[in-house]
Amino acid sequence: ETGVTQTPRHLVMGMTNKKSLKCEQHLGHNAMYWYKQSAKKPLELMFVYNFKEQTENNSVPSRFSPECPNSSHLFLHLHTLQPEDSALYLCASSQDATRGYGYTFGSGTRLTVV
Amino acid sequence: AQSVTQPDIHITVSEGASLELRCNYSYGATPYLFWYVQSPGQGLQLLLKYFSGDTLVQGIKGFEAEFKRSQSSFNLRKPSVHWSDAAEYFCAVAPEGNQFYFGTGTSLTVIP
């Protein structure tokens, strides 16, 4: 257990479904992140929240919608996804969103879009 | 543009042998540098990080890394590999702000 919990661990969804990924941390961190990990590609930063405010959105399609109700919880809402969105989605947290802090990652949600 | 290169996609070493995983970065100044490890089905775990000072950094699990400014490299080493070290290893750089750039990873196989 790393201190960052992601649920569900695995998710299979159709292209017309709506689902949500959940991330929770009780490390007292103030920054949370969503990353996409695809095979043989570098991790792609999707969203950054610092003190509950979104500070980064790296040109992510609108079919991905993040939500950060408080510093401990982060959601990724999914709708009308494409098969190429199948990947491992990793949540991470850090003390705050400055480069001096390393990330604590969750175990990820393995998403398959059919 | 900033980039991180891990030239070795896959490495196989014998248990007890030494290990070196390569990482090169492209950035004008010295960024913050990190190595992470990912076991199957798990997230990434921080092994070590370099900010400034002594260029040889010690991390967890017996790993160390050396920053070489002249080569823009931050290679990860371990004197004697254990079977439990089999995993995917990622180098990351943080040039400024809150943006991290990750390499594509090196997969390590350890044979008995």
Who has greater pLDDT, B96 or B54?
Answer: B54
pLDDT band at A67 (very low <50, low <70, confident <90, very high): very high
Label residues B58-78 b or e (16+ Cβ within 10 Å = b).
ebeeebbbbbeeeebbbbbeb
- pLDDT of A53 reads 87
- pLDDT of B37 reads 96
CA distance A104 to chain B (A): 7
Start-to-end CA span in chain B (Å) = 41
What's chain B's average pLDDT? 92
Cβ of A42 and B103 within 8 Å? yes
**Residues B101 and B93: beta-carbon distance below 8 Å:** yes
pLDDT band at B110 (very low <50, low <70, confident <90, very high): very high
Chain A residues with beta carbon closer than 8 angstroms to that of B94: 99
Give the pLDDT confidence of A87-100 residue by residue, as tens digits.
999 999 998 877 66
- pLDDT of B99 reads 72
Say how many residues make up chain B.
Answer: 112
Phi, psi of A23 (to 5 degrees): -135, 135
CA–CA distance, A81 with B32 (Å, rounded to integer): 35
- pLDDT of B1 reads 63
Give the pLDDT confidence of B14-38 residue by residue, as tens digits.
999 999 999 999 876 778 899 999 9
Which residue in chain A has the smallest CA separation from B41?
A107
Closest CA to B21 of B81, B101, B98: B81
What's chain A's average pLDDT? 91
What are the tokens at A63? 């079919």
* A to B CB pairs, distance under 8 Å: 57
